[in-house]
Every structure is written in structure tokens, then in C-alpha cells.
Copies of this chain bind each other. A is one copy, B any other.
Amino acid sequence: MYKNLKNKVATPVIRRLPVYYRKLSDCVEQGRDRISSQELSELCGFSASQIRQDLNHFGGFGQQGYGYNTALLRDEIAQILGIHNRYKAVVVGAGRLGTAIFEYEGIRKSGFDIVALFDNDPKKIGMKVEHVTIEPADELLHYIDHHQVDVAIITVPKTAAEEIIRRLDAHGIRGIWNFAPVDVNVTHSIVENTRINDSILKLSYYLQHGR
């Protein structure tokens, strides 16, 4: 088990954890059961030194002269990332993106079970996506007050997002995964913003200026 985090871990480290997890999962899948920091460096594109530094924030998972056991290290990182926790999530906005997220099995594999979908379009309400019925957006708050919901996934347009996020925060939601291009000052919720549009602007920048 990884050691307790007395000191806050720097965000660059946390951003690299999912990469380690992904690459180690690939290794395990391919039947590779051992890896050195140098070999992992070649897979991830981070330096071997950095990898050893990163991992030692959480504990000594390797063995001198041997390296790391891939399955063991993957599982440790899974624990650190909290992949084995289960969270109940709702999707707010049942458009293309919302339903794409809903159907994406990676979400469930990462510990999130989507239990409800909300939309304000009368044409969509009552429709089923897989086994889940789309419910009216104005029942969202009532729903989270009466069911255990840990996380809301926001895929509504920018204009609606801010108020929804503020209200979810006020109603005590633990986590918000926000795809809308708004920043909301929440009081206690943990917000993770995913800005798809920022990504394409980065691509645009590099197309113009080169890497």
C-alpha cells in the first residue's frame, strides 16, 4: 500500500499518473511483467529520473537491480488514483457529447457509474439511452437531493452551465466534471474541467508555428 500523503503532491506529478497507469496496463496486457524506470521512460516520454521521483512521492514500489513489477505498480497507481472506488454519476446534457460520455466504457472502468441522464429538450425527455431514461433537467436538483449522487458530468451549452454548476455545488455534490467553457467559483465541490476547444486551439497554434 502506498504511503500517506503528508505533503500535497505537485500537479505535474498528478497529471503524469494516468499516463503511468495506461502504459503499465499496456505492459500487463502484453504479458510483460517487469520494467525499469529507463524502459518506462521510453514508453511515457518522461525521464527515468522523473519517474523514480514521482513514484517515490507515494512509496518505494521498485526493487534495486530489478526494476518494477508491472502488475504490482499498475495496481498501486490504481489505488493512488482511486480507480477502485465506485462513484455514482449523472450526466447533465444528453446531446452527442453527453451520450458519448455515457456510453464510453472507460468511465465505468475508472470507477464511475452513470445512473441518470438529464436534458431540457422535451423531444429527448423520456427517450432511452441504453437502459437509462432521459429525465427533465428541472428535476436534476430534486433527483440529487433524493438519491446518492457523487458526481455530475456537465455537457450542456456554456449559457446553461454556470448556473447548473453553482446549484449542484450548493446542493452538496462532491465532484463536477465540466466540459463547458466556463469557470465557476464553487464552495466545496471538486471541479475537473475538460476543455476540448482549448485542445484544438493548441493544435491550431502548432500547425502555424511548428513544434
Contact = CB atoms under 8 A, between A and B. Distances in A.
Given A197-B106, A201-B81, A202-B18, A207 B175 contact: yes
A204 B83 contact: yes
Nearest to A97: B100
A53 B204 CA distance: 22
Contacts of A177: 199-200, 203
Nearest to A98: B100
Interface in A153-211: 174-175, 177, 181, 183, 190, 192, 194-211
Copies of this chain, count: 2
Which interface class (under 10, 10 to 19, 20 to 34, 35 or more) fits A?
Answer: 35 or more
Name A's interface SS: helix
Contacts of A205: 14, 17, 80-82
A45 B201 contact: no
B82 A207 contact: yes
25 contacts: A17-B205, A18-B197, A18-B198, A19-B198, A22-B197, A82-B204, A82-B207, A82-B209, A83-B201, A85-B207, A87-B207, A96-B100, A97-B104, A101-B196, A106-B197, A111-B204, A175-B206, A177-B199, A190-B203, A190-B210, A192-B199, A192-B200, A192-B203, A192-B206, A194-B199
Interface of A: 5, 9, 14-15, 17-19, 21-22, 43, 45, 80-83, 85, 87, 95-97, 99-101, 103-104, 106-107, 110-112, 150-151, 174-175, 177, 181, 183, 190, 192, 194-211
